[in-house]
Amino acid sequence: MTTTFTPILKADHLTKIYSDRPTPALSDVSLTIGKGECVGIVGESGSGKSTLARCLLRLESLDQGTIEFRQQLYHSLKGHSLRQARQHIGAVFQHPTAALNPKLTIIDSLMEPLDLQPSLRPSFISQPIRNREQIATQLLEYVQLPTKLLSAYPHELSGGQKQRVTIARAISTEPDLIILDEPTASLDVTSQAAVLKLLQELQQSLHLSYLFISHDLAAVYQMSDRILVMRHGQVVDQFASNDLYHEERHEYTASLLDVFLA
Amino acid sequence: MLSIRGLTVHHQLQTLVHPLDLQLHRGEWLALAGESGSGKTLTSLAIGGLLSADLHAHGSIQLEGKELLHLSEPEFRHIRGREIAYVFQDYQSAFTPFITIGKQMDEMIRAHTSLSRQQRQHSCLAHLEQVELPAKPVYNSYPFELSGGQLQRAAIATALLLSPKVLIADEPTTALDSLTSRSIIQLIQRIQQETGIAILWITHDLRQVQRTADTLLIMKSGQVVESGKSHSIFFHPTHPYTVQLLSSIPKLPSRYRLELQNKQVNT
């Protein structure tokens, strides 16, 4: 089966310079993410992979380059139009504890995006359901968490459970793209496996597009259709996942491969 | 060399490590693997008498026949560093920030031996060379001037200064890049071959020790669920938890398997 490639996000020649660093954090980085696709970014610390995530979320200003999102100019948006465009991008970061306000119950943290935009109702939530608690309940069911956690506080949850809450929050606005920056790096091995599996299932059932960022080549391989390898702010290699062993792999990719091939 | 029998660690209310047995021989690499809360770190701390005051250890820990468990703190100070050395995950706090690496290494030898100043410096430089660092510049550096990988190497050099018999490494590469981790593991492997030091390696990541560990102990909720030769556990795990742990690790397919897979898709 061949599907047509519809780009959801197209970034060209992104450059980001921090004045206190000798080399650019991002240097001429281009990437395209197609609808329903998972693009993986692998790199070590300092490679620029998280800077890239923050630039794509417009949490960081660009020094050069353009970003199109949903076929519209995105990098220069401001104020209301930026907030509107950003509704369609979700994000999950490495530390779920930092992503949940310790003073809010899970339902309040989970429903914050929808509380702010009452007109938004995810289409995957069964139709007759109208009230807030029922929506929250269904969102938790999507990430396989027990409903009783709605009234709990973050400190009562394990790391894996907290990360599931942030994933539920990310899907609640039905975004076209979710940026996952090391979403399992702070989790134990077994909950990492469970969260990766959940992300794959959600991608299938909700037709999500992902940008999956990790230092773990094996996890990136497992999740992604295409992989970009970053080093010192540059994309040094990119390939389809099933082309992992092609002889033209960059030597840096080859050295990463050697580490992860146990 | 190190023999642990029936070791338990208690808190006032609960038992955190259930009776644990462990034998570590000269030149052996033993990996203690488990997830958070498994008791692997508590076990390693109990060996050097480093448990916090609210925790109590019982059983027997013998180093070359000498019982360690009921030593007083001054007696323990004599053993830590000289007989048993530690390397931890948090390399940032291995050194005091405002004293040079060399001075801190020097202090370590001075506290335990009566070597002359010149002999001490010679030993420090030799050990920095052993961990493949530019010895002189690192000796004169402050901790913040070094990268994470360099600091962890300097911490390893310091741990090895007094030629300990056992090196306890608690997640020493967890905070490091994968390429840096690999080179640190290869370094310790080489040092072990040269010196015959026994290594107790604490980790949550089984991938790290697949190529290096001789023996493996898998812990869960304070209990050893499986132990034995590393390769037999990797290839024939028997406990369901070990099976789960091994299958949870993200893996790359072999070149052969991926090519086969691609062929099937194309036909």
The per-residue pLDDT string of chain A (262 residues; one tens digit each, 9 = 90 and over) reads 455 789 999 999 999 999 888 899 999 999 999 999 999 999 998 899 999 999 999 999 999 999 999 999 999 999 999 998 998 999 999 999 999 999 999 999 999 999 988 777 788 887 666 788 999 999 999 999 999 999 999 999 999 999 999 999 999 999 999 999 999 988 889 999 999 999 999 999 999 999 999 999 999 999 999 999 999 999 999 999 999 998 889 999 999 998 888 6
Q: Do A215 and B249 touch (CB under 8 A)?
A: no
Q: Are A200 and A75 found together in one domain? A: yes
Q: What is the pLDDT of residue A194?
A: 93
Which pLDDT value is given to residue A129? 65
Number of domains making up chain A: 2
A37 lies in the same domain as A75: yes
Cβ of A262 and B182 within 8 Å?
A: no
Domain range for residue A147?
A: 93-174
- A98 Cα distance to chain centroid: 16
Question: How is chain B split into domains, by residue range?
Answer: 2-83+166-266, 99-163
Same domain, yes or no: A182 and A239: yes
Give the position of tokens 């070149």: B255
Which of A259, A260, A261 to mutate to test binding with chain B, by most B CBs within 10 Å of its CB? A259
A-contacting residues in B 125-184 (Cβ below 8 Å): 177-182
Question: Are residues A112 and A75 located together in one domain of the fold?
Answer: no
Q: Which chain A residue has its CA at the smallest distance from B211's CA?
A: A262
Q: Look at the block and give the residue holding tokens 């007989």.
A: B83
pLDDT band at B42 (very low <50, low <70, confident <90, very high): very high
Cα separation, A71 vs A192, in Å, equals 34
Distance (Å) of CA B199 to CA B164, B170, B227: 10, 11, 16
CA A69/CA A89 separation, integer angstroms: 9
If asked whether residues A2 and A64 sit together in one domain, one would say yes
A193 shares a domain with A83: yes
- pLDDT of res. A1: 46
A237 and A197 in a common domain: yes
Residues A74 and A192 in one domain: yes
**What pLDDT does residue B92 have?**
86
- A131 lies in the same domain as A246: no
**Cβ contact (<8 Å) for B250 and A219?**
yes
Res B161 pLDDT > 90: yes
Region of poorest pLDDT, from A20-24, A125-129, B116-120, B242-246: A125-129
Q: Which of A156, A174, A192 is the last residue of a domain?
A: A174
- Fold annotation for B2-83+166-266: Rossmann fold (3.40.50)
Show which of A149, A174, A199 is a domain's final residue: A174
CATH of the domain at A113: 3.40.50.300
| Whether residues A132 and A2 fall in one domain | no
To the nearest whole Å, the CA of B32 is away from the closest chain A CA by: 15
The ipTM is: 0.84
What does the pLDDT look like over B68-81, one tens digit per residue? 998 998 999 989 98
Question: B256: nearest CA in chain A?
Answer: A245
pLDDT reading at B60 higher than 50: yes
- Domain finish residue from A174, A208, A236: A174
A184, A189, A191, A198: best to mutate for the B interface, most B CBs within 10 A:
A189
What pLDDT does residue A3 have?
59
One-letter amino acid identity for B69? L
- For the segment B192-201, the average pLDDT, to the nearest whole number, is 95
Looking at the structure, do residues A9 and A62 belong to the same domain, yes or no?
Answer: yes
CA distance B52 to A15: 49
Residues of A with Cβ-Cβ distance to B182 under 8 angstroms: 259
Q: Give the number of beta-carbon pairs within 8 Å between A and B.
A: 70
pLDDT of residue A45: 86
Contacts of B36 in chain A (CB under 8 A): 188
A240 three-class SS = strand
**What contacts B221, CB < 8 A, 6 or more positions away?**
B37, B38, B39
Q: Which residues contact A131 (CB under 8 A, 6 or more apart)?
A: none
Which residues, 6+ apart, have CB-to-CB distance to B70 below 8 Å? none
